[in-house]
Amino acid sequence: MSKKQNKKFITPEILRGAVKGAFVKLNPRYMMKNPVMFVVEIGFFITLLLSFFPGLFGDVDAASLRIYDIIVCVILFITVLFANFAEAVAEGRGKAQAASLKKTQKDTEAHLLHEDGNESIVRSSELKKGDVVMVVAGEVIPGDGEVIEGIASVDESAITGESAPVVRESGGDFCSVTGGTTVVSDWLKIRITSEPGNSFLDRMIALVEGASRKKTPNEIALNTLLVSLTIIFLIVVVTMYPFAVYSGVQIPVSTLIALLVCLIPTTIGGLLSAIGIAGMDRVTRFNVIAMSGKAVEACGDVDTMILDKTGTITFGNRLAADFFPVEGANRSDLIRCAALTSLHDETPEGKSTLELARRLGDSSEETTGSVFIEFTAQTRMSGVDLPDGTKIRKGASDAIEQYVKENGGRIPADLHTHVEEVSSLGGTPLVVCENNKILGVIYLKDTVKPGMVERFQRLRAIGIKTIMCTGDNPLTAATIAKEAGVDGFVAECKPEDKIALIKKEQAEGKIVAMTGDGTNDAPALAQANVGLAMNSGTTAAKEAANMVDLDSDPTKILEVVEIGKQLLITRGSLTTFSIANDIAKYFAIIPAMFQLAIPELNVLNIMGLASNYSAILSALIFNAIIIPCLIPLAMKGVKYRPMSSGRMLGRNMMIYGVGGVIAPFIGIKVIDMIIAPLLTMIGFGI
């Protein structure tokens, strides 16, 4: 599952498995799941019978058409194989990922703790939901669970691909652990939360392999359209036979089958399942596990995205943004003193203060003999005592004011103005003093993550509304919302407020996505159409969501939505290409079938095809080879560009609609130029 995993489209192992799978899937009971290709397979069996029993359906000169029947039979067989191969390649890529996951699934020993305090050694496969186990440094966590006691570093690289260990502890939102990960320090007492064979890793493997994949609503709708078109064209071809007889034209059964296969949307029919599997595959390779294909598809339809402020839009730590000196103080002195108090301050605030001071040109260094004063909840300040007796402090405004008054100093008239200014900006003011003189205020702010503004602009360009939820007061929330560029915000937000917001948007017909990691997020994750839970979060959150981010990156919801959009665009683009393909096939086959009885139809032979047989076979061959040619595009997906639905439709119509019309004209003509001499050699050149 590493992000550094092999990105090759197809490996020799996948190729061998796909070739085998293409033949296995020829089973009619399996082919019936794909009605379009099932019709092609039936056509293959009929032409196969004609190859052995000429004249079975009363064709005139049936014996002389045996070679033609055999050629049509072979092409139809190859068409079905190519369609099966496309699906088998997609499944093979998923199974390759599942194989790497299975390596982490070992039946390890577990230290089972009994109610009487005793401990026994059991196999991890014997553990049941509710069992309590002890895991110490160096041991593999035997199953999914929640930490009920202890704190430890856990190596989750087997699942997430990230080498850096993460901290897991009892209580809070970081108590969930996954079976197959390793404790690298200290110990954990874990309560197992899954039954054997139903762990998070088991579900991942089943989903990645495609064993649990169900067709999505959009896929079912498109499949229904394809079946409808197939039935319509089947009726057209069947009724064409008596019309041909009435017109004095003898049409071989093989030609009618070839016409039907070229008319029905075989290209998208052969690739539809592969596109769906590949969509799941792209999400999984992005280290996100989708609990269903429906979840991935829903991402592409998202209208509203609800995001937490802390950790998603902002870093979550208040960082130094500026220095405001008070009247009578020098800004350089303020910066110098702020830097000196932060030299040994390991908090995010202290580190960012020192970093900002260095960027502004300060070069203050630690003096030998200095005594650093740590922050405490009682004093609400920290600082440093220099060897020359100078005492420098930074901390909360009221704490510093009291400290200065106790040392005989005065409060600058504009101090409260600066403090209120910082607070109105949604920041936190830290006041700095040197001995009994206040120098100014450090402006700490919850910093918006780089690139968030641009990402929200991309979402806005495709019509997705972004709403920020935060527990901050309305003033702070408004400041962050404006800086980040979100479309709306909810301040002083409680868990029930998130659910109410989601329901409100859904009542307006919107598809809603949100992220979360805590137990209090679980109801909202379950209510949302797309709920992305963090792998570091609680079991309740992961069970409520329909997607789990193995990297626990809340901002990944933005990329997941784009992957969903890409899935829908890929399906739509290839459907457009497939239907557009048929237009050129009409110009190849219809004139070829009737030009002897109706010479006027020859005017439609705009490609100048050599003969009626070469025209039909060229169209049939092109119909077969276009499927494997489009497999890489179906697997990789059509490149996604943020734009409005109207522009996107226009762009796809130009590229895949017009391209779908032009490509067959060129392809069929080239194939005709190749096979026409060969047909002449065997007596089918007229």
> Which residues belong to the active site?
308
Specify the amino acid at residue 291.
M
Distance CA 121, CA 113 (A): 9
Q: Write out 137-205 in H/E/C secondary structure.
A: CCCECCCCEEEEEEEEEEECHHHHCCCCCEEEECCCCCCEECCCCEECCCEEEEEECCCCCCCHHHHHH
Q: Is the dihedral angle over the CA atoms 260, 261, 262, 267 positive or is it negative?
A: positive
Specify the amino acid at residue 532.
L
The answer to whether 278 is a known ligand-binding residue is no
Neighbours of 188 (CB within 10 A): 26
Strand pairing class (304-308; 428-434): unpaired
Helix (H) or strand (E) holding 442: strand 437-448
The answer to whether 380 is a known ligand-binding residue is yes
The answer to whether 104 is a known ligand-binding residue is no
The answer to whether 506 is a known ligand-binding residue is no
Distance CA 675, CA 267 (A): 22
What letter would DSSP give residue 344?
T
The answer to whether 394 is a known ligand-binding residue is yes
The answer to whether 504 is a known ligand-binding residue is no
Distance CA 79, CA 668 (A): 16
Give yes or no for a contact between 57 and 253, defined as CB atoms under 8 angstroms apart: yes
Distance CA 385, CA 402 (A): 18
Query: Over the Cα atoms of the chain, what is R_g?
Result: 34
Distance CA 344, CA 384 (A): 9
The answer to whether 494 is a known ligand-binding residue is no
Tokens 């490609």, residue located: 607
The answer to whether 178 is a known ligand-binding residue is no
The answer to whether 375 is a known ligand-binding residue is yes
424: exposed, middle or buried (Cβ count in 10 Å: 0-12, 13-18, 19+): exposed
Distance CA 571, CA 24 (A): 25
H helices then E strands: how many in the chain?
A: 23, 21
CA angle 416, 418, 420 (to 5 degrees): 65
* Tokens describing residue 385: 């005592």
Give yes or no for a contact between 266 and 83, defined as CB atoms under 8 angstroms apart: yes
Task: Report the largest interatomic distance among the alpha carbons of the chain, rounded to a whole angstrom.
Answer: 119
The answer to whether 345 is a known ligand-binding residue is yes
Strand pairing class (145-155; 182-183): antiparallel
Strand pairing class (530-534; 512-516): parallel
The answer to whether 376 is a known ligand-binding residue is yes
The answer to whether 377 is a known ligand-binding residue is yes
Would you list which residues are annotated within the binding site for ATP? 345, 349, 375-382, 394
Would you list which residues are annotated within the binding site? 345, 349, 375-382, 394, 517, 521
Would you list which residues are annotated within the binding site for Mg(2+)? 517, 521
